[in-house]
């Protein structure tokens, strides 16, 4: 579970709720019609922009923001180096039995092609094609939440305009103007809150997750091709260490 996402949303909601309660009028911020306009309108606009199956699959995308599988890049590099040592000492066919024991599916797929004698350029093309489609799938999830982040404030303004129109019809009763204005502005509040505390931050988190995963897979591609070229294990290790953060490099050294 990604504690940063949980802590961020919970603390953000807590701060807003605390501010509302300290203001002394929490009930006025609960307005179901305004919620319907903002969340219903944003969802409807998103459905127009994307395919139904993409929007319905958003729950699987959200899971990546809250639940992430941590990848031990150092352990992955060590695994690649171990394979390179065995391949350099006993030949590429010697690692055939170990291929099925490789946990990472992307690395396993690459090593299977190496053992099968696939040409290096073809291996790179196949693995980079798989990576490009992975990036595209990730981008669709990011785009959906970015769209929700754009549409929510827009429908908040639409709801406010609806409220203002209704308020202007009652200008003959000055006592109703204050309450009408407050209700009209609630939709703007809902839209801004949803966009800046939920939708846009989740889109940003998904982007970061995608970049991390892409970096790992690029590292795997370099490792697989280096093994096939018969490079020295120490050279492979130094090359792959460049994909790590300075902190991880110091830890490994």
Please report, for the chain, the start and end positions of each structural domain, with discontinuous segments joined by +: 3-71+125-241
- List the pLDDT tens digit at each of the 253 positions of the chain: 678 888 999 999 999 999 988 887 788 888 898 999 999 999 999 999 999 998 988 878 787 777 777 778 899 999 999 999 998 888 888 888 888 889 999 999 999 999 999 999 999 999 999 999 999 989 999 999 999 999 999 999 999 998 888 788 777 777 667 667 777 889 999 999 999 999 999 999 999 989 999 999 999 999 999 999 999 999 999 999 999 877 776 545 5
Tokens at 239, concatenated = 């090359």
Long-range CB contact pairs, 102-110, < 8 A, 24+: 104/76, 104/79, 104/220, 106/130, 106/217, 106/220, 107/76, 107/79, 107/80, 107/220, 107/223, 107/224, 110/220, 110/221, 110/224
Q: Cα–Cα–Cα angle for 44, 50, 53, nearest 5°?
A: 95
Tokens at 77, concatenated = 């590099």
Cα separation, 247 vs 62, whole angstroms: 29
pTM of the model: 0.84
Length of the chain: 253
């Amino acid at each position: 579970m990604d504690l940063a996402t949980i802590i961020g949303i919970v603390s953000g909601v807590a701060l807003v709720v605390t501010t509302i309660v300290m203001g002394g009028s929490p009930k006025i911020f609960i307005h179901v019609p305004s919620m319907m306009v903002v969340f219903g309108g944003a969802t409807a606009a998103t459905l127009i922009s994307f395919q139904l199956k993409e929007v319905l699959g958003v729950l699987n995308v959200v899971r990546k923001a809250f639940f992430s599988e941590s990848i031990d890049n150092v352990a992955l590099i060590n695994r690649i180096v171990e394979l390179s040592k065995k391949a350099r000492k006993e030949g590429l066919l010697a690692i055939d039995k170990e291929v099925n024991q490789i946990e990472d599916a992307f690395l396993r797929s690459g090593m299977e092609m190496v053992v099968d004698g696939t040409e290096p350029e073809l291996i790179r093309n196949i693995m980079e094609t798989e990576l490009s489609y992975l990036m595209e799938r990730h981008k669709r999830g990011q785009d959906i939440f970015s769209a929700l982040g754009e549409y929510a404030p827009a429908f908040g303004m639409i709801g406010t305009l609806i409220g203002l129109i209704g308020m202007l019809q009652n200008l003959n009763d000055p006592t109703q103007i204050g309450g009408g204005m407050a209700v009209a502005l609630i939709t703007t509040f809902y839209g801004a809150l949803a966009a800046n505390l939920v939708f846009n931050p989740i889109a940003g988190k998904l982007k970061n997750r995608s970049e991390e995963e892409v970096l790992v897979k690029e590292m795997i591609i370099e490792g697989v091709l280096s093994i096939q070229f018969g490079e020295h294990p120490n050279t492979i290790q130094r090359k792959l260490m460049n994909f790590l953060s300075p902190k991880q490099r110091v830890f490994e050294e």
